[in-house]
Amino acid sequence: MEPIQQTYQMPTADQQLLDNGQGVIDPDVFFELNTPPSNLADFESKLTAFVDYHQEKNTRLVFITSGGTTVPLENQTVRFIDNFSNGHRGACSAEYFLDAGYAVVFMHRQFSLQPFHRHYTHNASMGFLDYLVQKDDDTIAVDSQYGNKMKDVLSKYRAATESNRLLFLDFVALSDYLFKLKSGTRILARLQERVMYYLAAAVSDFFIPSQKMHEHKIQSAGGALTLTLDQVPKFLTPLVSVWASKGLIVSFKLETDDNLLVPKARQALTRYGHQVVVANMLHTRKQTVTVITQTSQQVISLSQEDLANHVEIEDRIIPQLVRIHDGWISSDATKACQQ
Ligand code: 9Z3
């Protein structure tokens, strides 16, 4: 059976814009050729209000991206390619940043793990109703074996939301994520060095530009399907040099081949010139990470005892990043004094 071929013919002008000789789209061109998400204005107004509030309070703020992006195969999307990540890293980190006094913008893949809620969702053996009991007087209550922990989680969650220190924003598709990343970093830029960008989302390296995508559901009548994916432009370049140039930027590097992990993380630091890469391996990401800066490299690992005590590695990563952020802020203050 003949594979189905992509039938779309791109207009010559668009093709020229895309073809920079290496088949990689320029980040600016990406935003010209793709349609912004329909809820971008709502995203921007929520974030602006949050930033206004915290600008006055002088709080430190972390912009966390969390979960995986989808890559649609059709403009009217029935099928899509997904990226690995259930959002544990981001959701868990948000709680430790709140503990450290930060306000948190939690930009996550819709329906992935969320801070605080994560303790009671996405559990293969326990559903929401399994935490509840029906009492003799016909009311319902939390089962006493879960009550104490839930009280702690609930009071931290309420403290964060009632003090307006936790903002939930979401994305689904890669282009949705990229539009919001650009717009979000620009809105946050006015808090300058007080912002940390913690880019834990698993972002696809490949995608189909909307001009090349099938409009309707791809039909199966023709047999096998052949797809060609373009390379996603390198968004860290404008993010580091323009959108968020004053903030502390922490990106994550995920690999499955141990030999590639540190060299690829170092390569990212050299290529983009930002401050920190947290390097992790797919299968050991909850036990060990390497925090790499331009001048240092530190392995953070949990011991067997830590694991037995349910210590989460974010409990060690976040204080380390907060120290780096302290240094970033004071070096900026020193620079300002010397001017
Ligand atoms: C990560 O490496 C995250 O730590 C994980 C967390 C996705 C592994 P989970 O959400 O997993 O706890 O299930 N995120 C960054 C992944 C990524 O796409 N990095 C790009 C790369 O490796 C650079 S931005 O090239």
Concatenating the DSSP letter of every residue in 290-319 gives EEEESS-EEEEE--HHHHHTT--THHHHHH
pLDDT for residue 335: 65
Q: How far does the centroid of ligand 1 lie from the alpha carbon of residue 86, in Å? A: 10
Q: Which domains does the chain have, with CATH numbers?
A: 12-246 (3.40.50.10300)
Ligand 1: residue whose CA is nearest its atom 20: 253
Atom of ligand 1 nearest to the CA of 83: 18
Which atom of ligand 1 lies at the shortest distance from residue 202's CA? 18
Task: Find where tokens 């996603």 sit.
Answer: 232
Q: What is the pLDDT of residue 5?
A: 39
**Which residue(s) pair with 140 in the sheet?**
134
Whether pLDDT at 9 is above 90 = no
Q: What is the pLDDT of residues 117-171, one digit of tens each?
A: 999 999 999 999 999 999 999 999 999 999 999 999 999 999 999 999 999 999 9
- Mapped onto helix, strand or coil, the DSSP state of residue 171 is strand
Q: What is the DSSP letter of 35?
A: P
CA of 230 to the centre of ligand 1 (A): 20
Q: What is the number of other CB atoms lying within 10 angstroms of the CB of residue 170?
A: 19
pLDDT per residue as tens digits for the range 113-125: 999 999 999 999 9
pLDDT in tens, 215-262: 999 999 889 999 999 999 999 999 999 999 999 999 999 999 999 999
Please report the pLDDT score of residue 22 as a whole number.
Answer: 54
Confidence (pLDDT) at 18: 44
Closest ligand 1 atom to Cα of 200:
14
**Residue 11's pLDDT is what?**
39
Question: What is the SS3 assignment for 102?
Answer: coil
pLDDT value for 241: 95
Q: How are beta strands 248-255 and 195-199 bridged, if at all?
A: parallel
- Between the CA of 261 and the centroid of ligand 1 the distance, in Å, is 12
Dump pLDDT digits (tens) for 71-86.
999 999 999 999 999 9
Averaged pLDDT, 182-206? 97
- For residues 187 and 259, what is the distance between their CA atoms, to the nearest angstrom? 38
The predicted-structure confidence for 265-319, as pLDDT tens digits, reads as follows 999 999 999 999 999 999 999 999 999 999 999 999 999 999 999 999 999 999 9
And the tokens for 239? 């993010």
pLDDT level of residue 3 (50, 70, 90 thresholds)? very low
CA 316 / ligand 1 centre spacing (Å): 18
Ligand 1 atom 16 nearest Cα: 202
User: What long-range pairs does 276-279 form, CB within 8 A, spacing at least 24?
Assistant: 276/248, 276/249, 276/250, 276/251, 276/321, 276/324, 277/250, 277/251, 277/252, 277/253, 278/250, 278/251, 278/252, 278/253, 278/317, 279/252, 279/253, 279/255
pLDDT for position 337: 55
**Type and span of the H or E element at 197:** strand 195-199
Q: Which residues line ligand 1 (CB under 6 A)?
A: 85-89, 199-200, 202-203, 251-254, 280, 285
So what's the ipTM on this one?
A: 0.97
pLDDT tens, 96-111?
A: 999 999 999 999 999 9
- pLDDT at position 221, please? 87
What pLDDT, on the 0 to 100 scale, is given for residue 298? 97
Q: Which comes out higher in pLDDT, residue 209 or 16?
A: 209
Q: What is the pLDDT of residue 20?
A: 45
Q: What pLDDT is attached to residue 334? A: 60
